[in-house]
Amino acid sequence: MTLTEKLEQMLMPVVTGLGYVLWGLEFARHGRSATLRLYIDKEGGITVDDCAKVSRQISAVMDVEDPIDVPYRLEVSSPGLERSFFALDQMPAYIGQEIHVRTHTKGAGRKRNFIGHLRQVADGALTIEDENRQMYSFLWSEVDKTSLIVRFDD
């Protein structure tokens, strides 16, 4: 089990116990320090007070459990409008929406980055349709990062 998986397993009950969804978790080392970033969500959106409340509880748990062996900074925030997806099961609610997909390696047309409307999520894969009506399917294991694209019409 990776440290990120261990942290998610340890912190999810804390976040859900406070009435929030743990949308995602990122852990990044920076030399002799690190950043632990949690994205929380709830119906109606997240406020600064929500982030502070979760941050206090997570800090207390982290002080007791002490799973990180370097000094780190804890950040708690909303996933935002252009949210990243951390799991395939987060995506069905966004079918029809425009997303960006970055793959681990170059694929179709020797590209790594794809933009299109999410058309399907099934069998461990997602399918998008680009502006030229070209369909692309990606196994979740091929995806490095994917996020929602929000465009505001003038």
CATH number at residue 94: 2.30.30.180
Q: Are residues 65 and 94 in the same domain?
A: no
Mean pLDDT, residues 20-26 taken together: 96
Q: Is residue 153 part of a domain?
A: no
Q: Are residues 62 and 94 in the same domain?
A: no
pLDDT digits (tens, 9 = 90+) for 39-79: 999 999 999 999 999 999 999 999 999 899 899 999 999 99
Mean pLDDT, residues 82-105 taken together: 95
Q: Are residues 65 and 23 in the same domain?
A: yes
pLDDT digits (tens, 9 = 90+) for 95-109: 999 999 999 887 666
pLDDT exceeds 80 at position 8: yes
- Strand arrangement of the beta sheet that strand 98-103 belongs to: 135-139, 125-129, 113-122, 98-103, 143-148
Which structural domain range is residue 122 located in? Answer: 88-148
| Residue finishing a domain among 54, 77, 100 | 77
Q: Are residues 17 and 61 in the same domain?
A: yes
Q: Is residue 154 part of a domain?
A: no
How far is it, in rounded angstroms, from Cα 39 to Cα 9? 14
Question: Helix and strand tally (H, E) in the chain?
Answer: 2, 8
Check residue 153 and give its pLDDT: 75
Check residue 1 and give its pLDDT: 85
CATH number at residue 66: 3.30.300.70
The predicted model scores a pTM of 0.86
pLDDT digits (tens, 9 = 90+) for 119-153: 999 999 999 999 999 999 999 999 999 999 998 87
Check residue 154 and give its pLDDT: 57
Domain count, the chain: 2
CA 151 to chain centre: 20
